[in-house]
Chains A and B, each alone.
Chain A
C-alpha cells in the first residue's frame, strides 16, 4: 500500500515488462466482457451508452455476460444498499481472475448524498475497485473517459491507486456542440 499519492495525467504509457505482457494487456483491454450489476438511475445512462448514439461496442466492451463466471469487468451501476452488499460481494467473488471493477456513478463510488442507515458508502468498502466514475448520473462521455482510463491501466498491467488530474479537453476548440437538435428535416 503506497503512502505517496500517484497522480495520473491520463494516457500514461508503458510499464508492461515484456512484449508478451503488453500483447496480453492489449487483447484484454479491447475485449472486456461486462457484468452489468445495474440497480438505480445510473442504469438509464447505462442504457444510453449501449445505444447507437454513444456506442459502447466501439470499445469492444458492449458484450454483457449475465453470469459472473464469464465476465471480467464488473460494472457496479447505481446505489448499493446494505441489503444488496452481500449479493455484490458474492457476485465479485464468483468472477474469475483477472477481473476489474468499475464504480459507475457517485453512489457506487462513495454513497453519494445518501449517507444514511441503508446505503453502503461506496463499493470499495466491500470489494476492491479499479476505476471510479463520478457523476449523478455521469454523462456517457464521462463513462467512456473512465473506461478508456481503465483500458490504459489494463494495458499497463497497473493496479496502483492514483488520482487523475483534470485534463485538457481535446474538443475544447470546437464550436458549440450543443446545437444538436435542429428544426424538422
Chain B
C-alpha cells in the first residue's frame, strides 16, 4: 500500500537506504544511521509522503548481531493514509556506542519515546533536549529491556523488612519458577 513511499525514498536517497521490504501489509526501510535525521525530515516535509505524525519509536535488541540494536520508528500520514517503518542499526555487542540523531526537532512527540528507549535499551539520542530516565528511577543501574538483563533482578530503593516470615504455604522458596526464555549465549536467533 505504501510501496510508493519506498520508491520515493530509494530514488531520493539511493545508497543510504540499505534494505526495503514489504510484508504482512507493512512497508519497512532500513537506513544508514548517519542519514537518520535527514530522511526523517524529508519524509515529513515532502508533499508526496507528508508524514505528519510520528507514531512510535522503540528499540529491539539482537544480542547476537552486530550492530546489536535496531531503532524502529513508525510514521504515518493522516492525509494520504500511508505508513512506513523506518529502521536503523546501532551499537556494538556490549551495547556501547549506540547513538543516533534525535528526531525531536522534527516531531516534538518523539520526546518521551526517545527517553523511554534510552531508559530501557540504552540507546542515546544526540540532540535530545532532556535525555534522562523516564520509566525507571534515576538510581537504577543498567538497561532492563536488554536481553542480558535478568528479568527478576531488582534494585530496591529502600531496605526491605527483616525478621518476618510469610506463613506457610507461601514461603518465598515455594511456587513455580516459570521463565521460558533464558538468555543463553551461543543460541542462534
Contacts and interface: CB of A to CB of B under 8 A. Distances in A.
Question: Are both chains from one complex?
Answer: yes
Interface of A: 1, 5, 82-83, 85-86, 89, 110, 115-118, 120, 124-128, 161-163
B169 to A, nearest CB: 9
Contact of A126 (B149, B151, B155, B161): B161
A117 B161 contact: no
Nearest to B165: A1
A126 B161 CA distance: 5
B24 interface: no
10 contacts: A1-B163, A82-B137, A82-B157, A83-B136, A115-B151, A115-B152, A117-B150, A117-B155, A124-B161, A124-B166
Given A82-B156, A116-B152, A117-B155, A1 B164 contact: yes
A127 B161 CA distance: 7
Contacts of A118: 136, 144, 154
A124 B164 contact: yes
Contacts of B182: none
- Of A1, A115, A127, most buried by chain B (CB within 10 Å of CB) is A115
B157 A83 contact: yes
Nearest to A5: B167
Contacts of A161: 167
B167 A110 contact: no
A125 B157 contact: no
B14 interface: no
Contacts of A85: 156-158
A162 B67 CA distance: 55
Range of interface residues on B (Cβ < 8 Å): 20 to 34
Contacts, number: 51
A82 B155 contact: yes
Interface of B: 136-137, 144, 149-158, 160-161, 163-168, 170
A83 B160 contact: no
Contacts of B155: 82, 117
Contacts of B150: 117
B61 to A, nearest CB: 15
Given A1-B165, A115-B152, A124-B166, 15 more contacts: A1-B164, A5-B168, A82-B137, A82-B154, A82-B157, A83-B136, A85-B157, A86-B157, A115-B151, A116-B154, A117-B144, A117-B149, A117-B151, A124-B164, A126-B161
Nearest to A161: B167
B176 to A, nearest CB: 11
* Most B CB within 10 A of own CB, among A82, A116, A120: A82
B152 A117 contact: yes
Contacts of A162: 167
A115 B165 CA distance: 19
A128 B164 CA distance: 9
Q: Which of A5, A83, A110, A124 has the most CB of B within 10 A?
A: A83
Question: Max chain B CB contacts within 10 Å: which of A110, A118, A124?
Answer: A118
A128 B161 CA distance: 9
B170 A110 contact: yes
Contacts of A83: 136-137, 157
Nearest to B135: A118
A86 B163 CA distance: 19
Contacts of B166: 124
